[in-house]
Amino acid sequence: MKLSLLATMAVLAAGCAGSVPAPKDSLASAMDIVRTASSLGATGDADEHMRRAKSEIDRAIGLMHEGKNEEAQRLLARANVDAELALELGRENVMLRRARDAKAVVESARQ
């Protein structure tokens, strides 16, 4: 009886694992964020996080092809975080460049 219950639970757990839908929305989101970060010309730390996000996306796509959607979802969650961090660091770099440019204009006007 105990063995039968354990076998049934194992079959149910395996069935549940296979029923996780492909994380297409997470994949699209991560890819969109990476594209946006790329358009900012990510450098330094932003570039590192963007490369990490791209690698995680590639690995998640492979997992999805293998039917390992739950693992792919977890990996895409990390990819989204890395991509968002790359995007924010890229935006910070843009703002710092603009601030330096504005400061240079003000200093040249004072002379």
pLDDT of res. 18: 55
Confidence of residue 35 (pLDDT cuts 50, 70, 90): very high
Confidence of residue 11 (pLDDT cuts 50, 70, 90): very low
Residue at 103: amino acid letter: K
Tell me the C-alpha distance between 87 and 71, whole Å: 24
Residue at 89: amino acid letter: L
Residue by residue, what is the 3-state secondary structure of 73-96?
A: HHHHHHHHHHHHHHHHHHHHHHHH
Q: What is the pLDDT of residues 96-106, one digit of tens each?
A: 999 999 999 99
Tell me the C-alpha distance between 19 and 68, whole Å: 10
Q: What is the pLDDT of residues 36-53, one digit of tens each?
A: 988 887 778 888 999 999
